[in-house]
């Protein structure tokens, strides 16, 4: 990873130019100690002895500055990237880690750094779109960091800023097609999902040979099933749209 290679130099320069920025806990001996603690975490893959969950308040972090992405994540989700001490258990257990360009633990490290390049790299990462929200990482994390919530926020922020990874286009098309189907029918209708996904992406022939067999076995229904509570589902979408408008 380019950023990882540049990590040492950029962090050192940042600490020299912006004392107090880019470090982990302000309670340590200052930028120099922060730098070495980060170096140690990166080189060993495991932090210095941390036997217990470390409570880290908002105010205890010099780098959780009000304009940074980590601060935005915290405001929106309640999750603090600074709670992470880079043990790597989340990345080791993530079933999609092999498909990711930046492992989950390193996404948090990029947020911790608070540098514009690092934040941009987190928002450009393919990983935030590959994440399945399976919660494996959150269950394994000794610091109880809810990484899927962080990933979800980063996806939305990446969309807002127009910094999506190019390969995320199809994933976004799938998300939108699925939500459109639920909005229209009150529940998922697979055929409309597939049709709108193909129209959005242009992958008209992808998996097309699987369709006849699925239709014969009754796995696909040409018409959507009607459900009770369709209006309530539609209302959820309206309320969500209203909420987005309020926050715009
Ligand atoms: S929630 Fe996302 S990041 Fe966490 S383990 Fe699952 S796929 Fe990986
Ligand atoms: S498991 Fe938790 S503490 Fe360990 S690297 Fe992942 S987020 Fe950080």
Q: Verify whether ligand 2 is closer than 6 Å to residue 87 (CB atom).
A: yes
Atom of ligand 1 nearest to the CA of 148: 1
Question: When comparing pLDDT for 53 and 180, which is higher?
Answer: 180
Between the CA of 219 and the centroid of ligand 2 the distance, in Å, is 40
Atom of ligand 1 nearest to the CA of 104: 3
Q: Which domain-ending residue is among 141, 166, 191? A: 166
Proximal ligand: closest to the CA of 136: 1
Structure tokens of 42? 């990166």
Q: Are residues 180 and 190 in the same domain?
A: yes
Q: How many domains does the chain have?
A: 3
Between the CA of 155 and the centroid of ligand 2 the distance, in Å, is 19
> Rounded distance, CA 25 to CA 62, Å?
7
Q: Verify whether ligand 2 is closer than 6 Å to residue 105 (CB atom).
A: yes
pTM, whole model, 2 decimals?
0.69
Proximal ligand: closest to the CA of 106: 2
Per DSSP (E only), the strands in 96-242 are: none
Q: Are residues 153 and 213 in the same domain?
A: no
Between the CA of 139 and the centroid of ligand 2 the distance, in Å, is 10
Q: Verify whether ligand 1 is closer than 6 Å to residue 139 (CB atom).
A: no
Q: Are residues 162 and 63 in the same domain?
A: yes
Predicted confidence (pLDDT) at residue 127 exceeds the cutoff of 60: yes
3-state SS, residue 49: coil
Residue in 122, 132, 145 to alter for ligand 1 test, most ligand atoms within 8 A of Cβ: 132
Q: Are residues 148 and 172 in the same domain?
A: no
Q: Verify whether ligand 2 is closer than 6 Å to residue 88 (CB atom).
A: yes
Structure tokens of 117? 């390049």
- What domain range includes position 212? 168-247
Q: Are residues 193 and 140 in the same domain?
A: no
Q: Are residues 120 and 204 in the same domain?
A: no
What is the per-residue pLDDT across 82-92, written as a single tens digit (0 to 9) for each? Answer: 999 999 999 99
Q: Are residues 159 and 73 in the same domain?
A: yes
Q: Are residues 173 and 132 in the same domain?
A: no
What is the per-residue pLDDT across 115-124, written as a single tens digit (0 to 9) for each? Answer: 999 999 999 9
- Binned at pLDDT 50, 70 and 90, residue 144 comes out as very high
Q: Are residues 134 and 225 in the same domain?
A: no
Q: Are 107 and 97 in contact (CB under 8 A)?
A: no
Question: When comparing pLDDT for 173 and 248, which is higher?
Answer: 173
Number of C-beta neighbours around residue 182 at 10 A: 18
Structure tokens of 180? 């459109």
What CATH number is associated with residue 108?
1.10.1060
Q: Are residues 44 and 20 in the same domain?
A: yes
Q: Which domain-ending residue is among 166, 191, 212? A: 166
> Rounded distance, CA 165 to CA 129, Å?
8
Q: Are residues 103 and 84 in the same domain?
A: yes
What is the per-residue pLDDT across 25-70, written as a single tens digit (0 to 9) for each? Answer: 333 333 333 333 343 344 434 443 443 444 444 434 445 555 699 9
Q: Which domain-ending residue is among 166, 199, 232? A: 166
Q: Are residues 138 and 39 in the same domain?
A: no
């Amino acid at each position: 990873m380019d950023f990882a290679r540049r990590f040492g130099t950029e962090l050192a320069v940042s600490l020299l130019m912006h004392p107090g920025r880019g470090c982990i806990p302000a309670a340590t001996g200052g930028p120099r100690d922060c730098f070495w603690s980060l170096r140690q975490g990166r080189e060993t893959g495991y932090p210095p002895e941390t036997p217990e969950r470390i409570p880290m308040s908002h105010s205890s972090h010099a780098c959780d500055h009000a304009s940074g992405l980590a601060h935005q994540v915290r405001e929106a989700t309640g999750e603090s990237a600074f709670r992470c001490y880079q043990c790597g258990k989340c990345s080791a257990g993530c079933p999609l880690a092999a498909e990711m360009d930046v492992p989950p633990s390193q996404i948090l490290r990029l947020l911790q750094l608070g540098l514009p390049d690092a934040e941009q790299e987190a928002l450009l990462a393919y990983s935030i779109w590959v994440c399945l929200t399976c919660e494996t990482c959150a269950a394994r994390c000794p610091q109880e960091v809810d990484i899927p919530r962080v990933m979800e926020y980063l996806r939305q922020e990446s969309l807002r800023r127009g910094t999506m990874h190019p390969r995320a286009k199809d994933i976004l098309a799938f998300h939108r097609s699925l939500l459109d189907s639920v909005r229209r029918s009150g529940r998922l209708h697979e055929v409309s999902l597939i049709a709108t996904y193909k129209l959005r992406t242009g992958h008209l022939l992808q998996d097309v040979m699987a369709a006849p067999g699925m239709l014969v076995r009754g796995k696909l229904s040409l018409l959507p099933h009607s459900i009770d509570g369709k209006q309530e589902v539609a209302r959820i979408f309206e309320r969500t749209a209203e909420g987005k408008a309020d926050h715009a």
